[in-house]
Amino acid sequence: MSAAMRPIGLAVFTLTAALIGCGDDPAVTPTVDAGDAAVDAVASGMDAPAAVDVPTTADVVDPCDPRRRLRDGGLIDPDPSCPLPNLIPVIDRVQIQTRSFAPGSCEVMEGCTMPGRRRLLRFDLITPNIGAGDLYLGPPVINNRPDGRFEYGACHMHYHFRGYADYRLMAMSSDTEVARGHKQSFCLLDSARYMDMGRALRPGEAYTCVDQGIHAGWFDLYDRALDCQYIDITDVPPGRYRVRARINELRGLTESSYDDNEVFREVEIPATDPPVSNDPTDACAADADGAARDCGWVVDRALSCTPGTRVTVGCNAACGAGSCAGNPVVRVCAGDGPCTHASAVAENDDACGTQCPSVSFMCPLFRNRYTVMTGGSRAGAAYECRLEATEARP
């Protein structure tokens, strides 16, 4: 960061964009043993390994601080006398879409769907932590010893918590299962606060894909535009059904309640697909790449800037702000809300000699609000984009 650039005070933010879950086959074997101290723990599993600050005895006073567990060699279950997390599933933004899959695509190889034209029931899955304690998993790999509860997605190049969510399509008035989704694995992280619960997090405090968890009062969002985030309904006749989502079925995560881990949402499956919209946050109807596409985007957040300054926003350490893993893209829109390629203020795929994106633009004198969207360079693909914004006087 040059001397002329400065963080935007409180507006400097770090937010981790969504990631993908696919693949039931564990590419790793459980090898964690609790004996060794993990003081030099390094997270890997993303293509850019990140150092993780593991607390020592001296700097952890709170015996319920979940981070202290890292010292004991990785993931161990929390002390039941400490405040526990409680996850609940919420289904949102249900959408029906027909799209084509190429043989050899990630989603076909990982068993989510089949080659050819397929009809999909897509939806967001939001999992708020409404419990009193933080959910903390830490890095998927401690000293290169993967925890058995994580799996490595070869197509997506990072670790997910195995079998976190299970999706079924059920008949309206019976327990008959009509269609089944892929058992979805998640990278569990802090997407945003849930209904004003919890507390604001300091920059860098939010959990990410390389140091996973969900703070109390925060939620993880799995966007419907992501790979494998659907039930394939190609062979399902039109009619009314119920979508069922269950989380943490195997209780691999310790919660204060398991009775609230199932949710139903009624859906109408029409005979033909609804008209295609121009919403850039819709999932892409075919394979799509690059920053100019108008599908498969995730709205990250809206921000303010100081009119007349030059704003640089991105997730690219080489350009001086933020960091990324995988291969993301960013787009900046004027005002609050998403925008298309034609109306974008700026967009970028790769910058400063890396696959991480960064853009610069003048903060308009008449309108000081902008919205940042992110996505995988290949629509639906895994990425992590920890955005930061800086302002410089021209």
The region of 148-156, 282-290, 344-352, 386-394 touching Ca ion under the rule CB under 5 A is 344-352
The region of 58-66, 109-117, 265-273, 324-332 touching Ca ion under the rule CB under 5 A is 324-332
CB of 84 to Ca ion, least distance (A): 10
Q: Which is nearer to Ca ion, 257 or 277 (CB)?
A: 257
Q: Max CA-CA distance within the chain?
A: 66
Does residue 350 interact with Ca ion by CB under 5 A? Answer: yes
Q: Which is nearer to Ca ion, 97 or 377 (CB)?
A: 377
CB of 376 to Ca ion, least distance (A): 8
Q: How far apart are CA 329 and CA 349, in angstroms?
A: 4
DSSP state of 66: G
CB of 259 to Ca ion, least distance (A): 7
How is residue 8 written in tokens? Answer: 């935007």
Query: Binding Ca ion by CB under 5 A: which of 193, 338, 349, 361?
Result: 349
Q: Which is nearer to Ca ion, 118 or 244 (CB)?
A: 244
Single out the residue of 192, 178, 292 nearest to residue 244, CA to CA: 178
Query: Binding Ca ion by CB under 5 A: which of 16, 86, 97, 127?
Result: 86
Binding mask 258-297 for Ca ion (x = CB under 5 A): --xx------------------------------------
The region of 55-63, 91-99, 149-157, 350-358 touching Ca ion under the rule CB under 5 A is 350-358
Tokens 């070869």 found at: 154
Tokens 């089949």 found at: 114
**Is there a contact between 136 and 213 (Cβ–Cβ < 8 Å)?**
yes
Residues ≥6 apart with Cβ < 8 Å to 83: 64, 131, 132, 133, 216
Question: What is the amino acid identity at position 345?
Answer: V
Query: Binding Ca ion by CB under 5 A: which of 327, 358, 371, 374?
Result: 327
Q: How far apart are CA 61 and CA 72, in angstroms?
A: 15
Does residue 47 interact with Ca ion by CB under 5 A? Answer: no
CB of 314 to Ca ion, least distance (A): 10
User: Cα separations (Å) of 22 from 27, 45, 104, 105, 235?
Assistant: 12, 14, 14, 12, 22
Does residue 213 come out as left (phi exceeding 0), alpha (psi in the -120 to 50 range) or beta? left
Q: How far apart are CA 62 and CA 311, in angstroms?
A: 40
Query: Binding Ca ion by CB under 5 A: which of 151, 166, 255, 384?
Result: 255
Query: Binding Ca ion by CB under 5 A: which of 105, 185, 316, 355?
Result: 355
Residues ≥6 apart with Cβ < 8 Å to 275: none
Binding mask 358-377 for Ca ion (x = CB under 5 A): -------------------x
Residues at the interface with Ca ion (CB under 5 A): 86-87, 255, 257, 260-261, 327, 349-350, 355, 377
